[in-house]
Amino acid sequence: MRRSHEPVAWSLFGAGGMLLAFIGPGLVLTTALLPWLAADDPQATHAAIGALLAHPLGKLLVLACVALPLFHTLHRIYHGLHDLHLPAPRLPLQLLCYGGATLLSAVTGWWLLQV
Amino acid sequence: MTETVTVRVQRYRPEEDTAPWEQSFEVPYSEDLSILDALNQIKDQQDPTLSHRWSCRMAICGSCGVMVNNEPKLSCKTFLRDYREQAAVTVRALDNFPIERDLVSDISGFIDHLETVQPWLIRSEEQPVSAGAYPQTPEQMQRYAAFSQCINCGLCYAACPQFGRDPAFLGPGALALAQRYNLDSRDEGAAQRMQWLNAGEGVWSCTFVGYCSEVCPKDVDPAAAINRGKVASDINYAVNLLNILRGKDDA
C-alpha cells in the first residue's frame, strides 16, 4: 500500500488548530479590542505593535499566527467540500486550498520582511 | 383489542425482485418489545419468508445490525417504545453494504478489512507455553480496553460516509481494532500494521465526521481510535522522512 502524504497537511492543520484554540482569543483581545477599549493612548499601542513586528521573533510569531490558521482553515474547507459531495476533481481543489494557503503565507512573510 | 404498531420492513429477494421494496406489517405492541422481537413475530406468525440475521438477543454477537428509521442500530437493543411518537418504524438492511436478501447484508468487505490489520498479538519471538502468560498491568490494559469492546456488528461502517463512497477505506471498526493491538503492551506488530494505517485507504480517508462513534452500541469510540492512529501515522511519517534524509530506504 502506498504511503499517504496527508500527514504534511494534517500536521499544519493540527498546528493551526492548536494555535487558534490557545492564543487566538488572546490575540484578538490584545491586538483588536484592548487598544480601543482599555488603552489610554492608542498611538503608544500602535508603536508597541510596530516594535513587536520589528523584532525577528515577533515576525516569526505573527507569521505562525497567520500561516498556520490559514492551512488549518483551508484544509478543513477542502475536506468539508469532499464531505458535501462537491463534484470536482481533487487536484484543482488541492491546488486552490493548499496552494492558496502557501501563497498567502508567502505574501505575509514577504510583508513582514518589509516592516 | 390489542394495540398494534406498523413496522415497515425492507424486502429484497434476488430471484424475483429487481430492487428492494417495502412491506408493512402490524405487530402487537408491548413495552418490552424490541425491533428484533417484532421481526421474529413477523417471521414466526405472519411471513416465514422474511430473512434477517440474529443470534444472542443481548448485544454481544453483533449479528442483528439494521437501519431503524435511517439510523444504524442493533435490533435487539432497540425498542419499539422509543418510536411511539412516530407513525411507523422502518427497518432496512445496513447502509453501505450490498444486500443479500431482505435485511441480510453482505459484510464480507468489512470482514476482509478486519483481517487486513492483523488483529491478533504479534510477537517477534513466541515464548514457549511453559514460560506462562505475558504479564500486563491494569494500567497497561486500560490503554486499549475501550477499543477491545468491539463486537464486529458493522454499524460504524453503515454510519461512515467515507466507507460508503470508497469501500477500499479500511473503515472505523478495522482501524479501531488495529489501534487496540498497537496499544497493547504484549504486542510487537505495530510496525507491520502501520503500513496499512499510513495509506490513503487507512486513517487518512477519515475526515472525522464522528458518526461511527455515535452509533457504536459498545461505546468503542472508533473516531477517537482513528484520530490516535493519525497521530501515530504522523510521527511514523516524520521518522521515515528523517531516515530517508540519513540515507536509509523509504519504508
Please give the share of chain B, as a percent, with pLDDT higher than 70.
100
Contacts of B204 in chain A (CB under 8 A): 4, 6-7, 10
Residue A45 near residue A39, CB atoms below 8 Å:
yes
> What is the residue-averaged pLDDT of chain B?
96
Q: Lowest-pLDDT range, A6-10, A47-51, A59-63, B51-55?
A: A47-51
Element (H, E) at B243: helix B222-245
Nearest by CB to A11, from B202, B234, B240: name it: B234
Residue A113 pLDDT exceeds 80: yes
What pLDDT score was predicted for residue A93? 94
Contacts of A11 in chain B (CB under 8 A): 234
Q: Give the class (CATH, top level) of B108-245.
A: mainly alpha
Residue B5 near residue B29, CB atoms below 8 Å:
yes
Contacts of A79 in chain B (CB under 8 A): 207
CB contact under 8 A, B198 and A1: yes
The DSSP secondary structure of B145-178, one letter per residue, reads GGGGG-----HHHHH-HHHHH-TTS-HHHHHHHH
Amino acid present at A2: R
CB contact under 8 A, A7 and B200: no
Chain B CB within 8 Å of residue A4 CB = yes
Task: Domains for chain A: give ranges and CATH numbers.
Answer: 6-114 (1.20.1300.10)
Residue A38 pLDDT exceeds 80: no
Quick: pLDDT tens for B17-54: 999 999 999 999 999 999 999 999 999 999 999 999 99
Quick: pLDDT tens for A56-108: 999 999 999 999 999 999 999 999 999 999 988 889 999 999 999 999 999 99
> What is the residue-averaged pLDDT of chain A?
91
CB contact under 8 A, A83 and B161: yes
Domain B4-105 has CATH 3.40.50.300: no
Residue A36 pLDDT exceeds 80: no
CB contact under 8 A, A4 and B202: yes
According to CATH, where is 1.10.1060.10 located in chain B? Answer: 108-245
Nearest by CB to B196, from A1, A8, A83: name it: A1
What pLDDT score was predicted for residue A47? 87
Rounded CA-CA distance B50/B52 in Å is: 7
Residue A39 pLDDT exceeds 80: no
User: Grid coordinates representing B109?
Assistant: 468487505
Sort B70 into a burial class: Cβ within 10 Å, 0-12 / 13-18 / 19+.
Answer: exposed
CB contact under 8 A, A4 and B204: yes
Residue pairs spanning A and B at CB distance below 8 A: 40
| Closest Cα in chain A, distance from residue B24 (Å) | 33
Residue B87 pLDDT exceeds 80: yes
Please give the share of chain B, as a percent, with pLDDT higher than 90.
94
| B115-143: average pLDDT | 94
What pLDDT score was predicted for residue B1? 64
ipTM score for this prediction = 0.83
Cα–Cα distances in Å, from B69 out to A88, B47, B86? 31, 21, 10
Q: Give the residue from B233, B239, B241, B250 with the most A CB atoms within 10 Å of its CB, the best one to mutate.
A: B233
Chain B CB within 8 Å of residue A2 CB = yes
**B 179-198 residues with CB < 8 A to A:** 195-196, 198
Residue B114 pLDDT exceeds 70: yes
**B 145-174 residues with CB < 8 A to A:** 161
| B233-238: average pLDDT | 96
What pLDDT score was predicted for residue B160? 98
Nearest by CB to B204, from A6, A11, A82: name it: A6
Chain B CB within 8 Å of residue A90 CB = no
Q: Give the residue from A2, A5, A6 with the most B CB atoms within 10 Å of its CB, the best one to mutate.
A: A6
